[in-house]
Each structure stands twice: as structure tokens, then as C-alpha cells.
Amino acid sequence: MPGWTPAPGRPDWGRPGVLLLSVLLLCALAAACGRDRRAAGAGKHRLPLDGDTLDLGSEVTVHDVRLGGAGASAAIRPAALTVRSGDVIRFVAADARGHAVVFGDSTLAPDVRSFLERTRQLQGPPLVSTGASWVVSLKGAPAGRYPFRSLTQDAAGVVVVQPAPAR
């Protein structure tokens, strides 16, 4: 509206469209803030990977196992871990000494070995830099003991997989 001026003492809100634009902007900000809170609450069910993020769903938990670090007792932390079928394990190099993890020894049950072989997760890749990780998905994993060891350190651990909760 060319030449339109507000009445003396009247704010610019009287201009057509300014109020509507302001209300729409406030609604958009409120929606964005709500979305950020929901995303922050769902963080334990998300897996960040090199600039990407996997949404794992609310029933999946990510368990971290740290490899290496300062001191001899810091080889694998935790060395024993209890998880549920469907969860995810992330083996993370805590130093740059190089790490390689393999599941299995003579006590590995045949169904557990079959699952790990079928999903190509019996042995991880070398983790050669601090923060490098190997992610193991236990989706469809049979319950049981999953002993693992570090090929580069004299250290071993075990993951105990429990059945997934009934839905």
C-alpha cells in the first residue's frame, strides 16, 4: 500500500500482513523447538556415523565397548556386557595403537557362530585411529554368550545376549 502510514502512536502491527507473518514465524519457531526436544530425547536410540545418523528405533540401545586407552587394565571396558537381541554394540578405539576384534572361541555356540557368520560380523576391521569404531548389529541374534577377544592385545570379553522383550 503505497503511501500508507500508521496513525500517530499506533505500532506498525496495523500494516496488513505484518501480524499474519509474525504469527506464522512464531508458530514455525515453536514447532522447530519441539522437534529439537524430541530429537534430543531420542538420542540414545540414534547412532552417529561419520556425518550421518541412523535412527535405530525406540526399542534399540547402543552399547559402547572401549578398546585400549591408558594403562594395561584399560584394554577392554567393559569386559562383560549384557544386552538384548536387537541392540547394537559399538567397539571404539580409545587410542591409536590399532585394534581388531573377533568373536569366537571354542565355547561359541553353533547358533551364535552361524548368526555371526551369516551377518558377516565374526571379525571386525582393523581400528587404527582414535575414535574409529566397528558397529555390530544384534538384530535377530539368538540369546547366548558371545565371547570376543582383541587380536592386537592380550584381552578378552563377553557379550551376553538376552531375548528381545515381548511386544
In which order are the strands placed within the sheet that holds 62-67? 76-77, 62-67, 88-93, 133-137
Per-residue pLDDT at 76: 92
pLDDT category, 106, cuts 50, 70, 90? Answer: confident
Per-residue pLDDT at 41: 36
> pTM of the prediction?
0.67
Pairing type for strands 46-49 and 52-55 reads antiparallel
Kindly state the cell numbers that stand for 145: 554368550
Give 139-161 pLDDT, tens digit per residue: 999 999 999 999 888 889 999 99
Mean of pLDDT over the chain: 77
Matching residue, cell 572361541: 105
Assign 85 to helix, strand or coil: coil
Separation between Cα atoms, residue 80 and residue 14, nearest integer Å: 67
Separation between Cα atoms, residue 1 and residue 15, nearest integer Å: 9
Query: Where is average pLDDT lowest: 9-23, 27-41, 52-66?
Result: 27-41
Say if residue 2 is preceded by a cis peptide, omega within 30 of 0: no
Matching residue, cell 512464531: 26
Per-residue pLDDT at 72: 55
pLDDT category, 69, cuts 50, 70, 90? Answer: confident
Per-residue pLDDT at 156: 92
pLDDT at 19 over 80: no
